[in-house]
């Protein structure tokens, strides 16, 4: 299947480039983009019920609450350590490559001017986050009404909380009292996983439409100007991509091998469709149904562990986003000639960790939270205007890492608790 998706992706890019070259952008937006939107909507449609069902099944399948807390502790510890590592790698790469020196003051001012209003609206959204009390994110985790939470895809953490809480209730009761509910959620889970398979049949077409319209949108009426922008920000974009590549192709394989003796090739073979989807949709949440299916059925992680680790990861674990936030902050400082000392870099480690936890698994969320990181080291949030032009492209790349990081942790946690079934290569 991944060959078909890859073909859709490449054809989409070519189609987007071709139609921009002959000025068909509007046609692509009117007649091709809707198919991409339909495909993403289908995935989003099943994301919330799937998180609910898989997590309830996952938690209620545990023998006792003690196992849940051990699993939770391990998962959070791994999530935090990989995030801090990713940020450190980002900082090393950006301080070494110094992409900020490749942007001229004229290019910088032109970018600032062109994207100033969009930057201001992002900064405004971020302001609402920084103005709230420090414990507000904790308060926001607990919904006051589960149906409200289920109606808003950005409130996935609330659904996760409810499912955990509900699952704990099931564990605490004698089995015979919960049989019906367990069976019900197991069936819902199975049905939704089946729907994932059905939806994925449309993936090549969906991915084609998404990529074609993305390229057409990016090129706009003036493909030459778009290329100029890409050139100005090329060094920065390459730095982000290089950091992400190190995490994906070096750090994760090392973790997989040391923590689970898990072969890298098997991991990537199992995850490619989810990674391609993450790339095309730029959304961990929309990709979650496929990530769950792949991790359970192709990586051999038990439903209990996958159902617990992955929905949580899609909301709070974003190694790619945190790395990008670190690189972007230092790049913006470099472009404005503002030196950042060791203390500032440490502040970035801390705030980018929190900012990535706070970023929702939807397109562009990481850039809003980047404002918080910029402010923590005294940079003007309007600086995000500099990186906006290439943000969508980098969002695609960082989402691949976000999704892969969740799957990697699921494998490690499953290995420790003996929840990893036959290794795929065996």
Interface positions with ligand ASP (CB under 6 A) = 282-284, 318, 321, 359, 361-366, 395, 398-399, 402
Strand-pairing partners, residue 301, are: 420
298 with 425: CB under 8 angstroms? no
- Work out how close the CB of 285 gets to ligand ASP at its nearest, in angstroms, rounded to a whole number: 6
> Toward ligand ASP, which CB reaches closer, 104 or 130?
130
In the complex, what is the shortest distance from the CB of residue 35 to ligand ASP, in angstroms, rounded to a whole number? 21
Q: Which of 173, 93, 103 is nearest to 335 (CA)?
A: 103
Which residue, 17 or 393, is less far from ligand ASP as judged by CB?
393
- In the complex with ligand ASP, the residue whose CB is nearer, 303 or 366, is 366
**For ligand ASP, the closer CB: 302 or 351:** 351
Closest approach, Cβ 283 to ligand ASP, in A, equals 4
- Give the orientation angle of helix 365-376 with respect to helix 105-131, to 10 degrees: 90
For residues 284 and 329, which CB has a smaller minimum distance to ligand ASP in the complex?
284
Q: Between the CA atoms of 215, 249, 287 and 1, what dihedral angle is there, to the nearest 10 degrees?
A: 80
Distance separating alpha carbons of residues 25 and 218, to the nearest angstrom? 10
In whole angstroms, how close is the CB of 401 to ligand ASP at the nearest point?
9
Task: Measure Cα distances from 172 to 73, 162, 179, 312, 332 in Å.
Answer: 20, 15, 13, 22, 52
CB of 58 to ligand ASP, least distance (A): 21
388: which DSSP letter?
G
The distance of closest approach from Cβ of residue 208 to ligand ASP in the complex, given in angstroms and rounded to an integer, is: 20
Q: Tokens representing 206?
A: 């969906």
User: CA–CA separation, 381 vs 130, rounded Å?
Assistant: 12
Q: 252: alpha, beta or left, given left = phi > 0 and alpha = psi -120 to 50?
A: alpha
Spell out the residues 6+ positions from residue 413 whose beta carbon is closer than 8 angstroms to its own: 71, 74, 75, 78, 305, 309, 419
């Amino acid at each position: 299947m991944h060959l078909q998706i890859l073909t859709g992706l490449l054809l989409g890019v070519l189609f987007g480039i071709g139609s921009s070259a002959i000025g068909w952008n509007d046609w692509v937006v009117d007649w091709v983009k809707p198919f991409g939107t339909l495909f993403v909507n289908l995935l989003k449609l099943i994301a919330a019920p799937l998180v609910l069902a898989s997590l309830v099944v996952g938690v209620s399948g545990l023998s006792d609450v003690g196992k849940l807390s051990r699993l939770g502790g391990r998962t959070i510890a791994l999530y935090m350590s990989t995030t801090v590592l990713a940020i450190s790698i980002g900082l090393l790469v950006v301080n070494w490559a110094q992409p900020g020196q490749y942007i001229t003051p004229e290019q910088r001012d032109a970018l600032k001017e062109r994207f100033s209003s969009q930057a201001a609206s992002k900064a405004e959204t971020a302001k609402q986050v920084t103005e709230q009390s420090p414990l507000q994110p904790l308060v926001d985790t607990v919904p006051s009404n589960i149906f409200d939470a289920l109606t808003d895809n950005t409130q996935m953490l609330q659904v996760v909380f409810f499912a955990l809480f509900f699952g704990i209730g099931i564990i605490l009761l004698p089995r015979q009292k919960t049989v019906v509910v367990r069976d019900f959620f197991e069936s819902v889970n199975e049905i939704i996983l089946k729907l994932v398979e059905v939806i994925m049949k449309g993936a090549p077409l969906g991915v084609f439409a998404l990529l074609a319209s993305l390229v057409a949108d990016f090129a706009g009426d003036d493909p030459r100007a778009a290329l100029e922008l890409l050139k100005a920000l090329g060094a920065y974009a390459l730095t982000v991509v290089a950091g992400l590549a190190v995490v994906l192709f070096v750090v994760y394989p090392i973790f997989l091998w040391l923590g689970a003796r898990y072969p890298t090739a098997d991991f990537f073979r199992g995850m490619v469709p989810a990674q391609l989807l993450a790339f095309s949709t730029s959304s961990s949440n929309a990709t979650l149904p496929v990530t769950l299916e792949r991790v359970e059925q192709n990586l051999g992680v038990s439903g209990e562990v996958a159902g617990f680790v992955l929905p949580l990861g899609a909301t709070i674990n974003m190694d790619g986003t945190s790395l990008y936030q670190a690189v972007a902050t230092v790049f913006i400082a470099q472009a404005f000639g503002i030196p950042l000392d060791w203390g500032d870099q440490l502040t970035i480690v801390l705030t980018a960790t929190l900012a990535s936890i706070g970023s929702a698994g939807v397109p562009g969320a990481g850039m809003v939270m980047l404002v918080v990181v910029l402010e923590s080291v005294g940079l003007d949030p309007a600086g995000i205007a500099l990186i906006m032009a290439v943000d969508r492209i980098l969002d695609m790349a960082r989402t691949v890492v976000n999704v892969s990081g969740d799957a990697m942790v699921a494998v490690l946690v499953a290995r420790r608790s003996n929840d990893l079934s036959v290794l795929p290569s065996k």
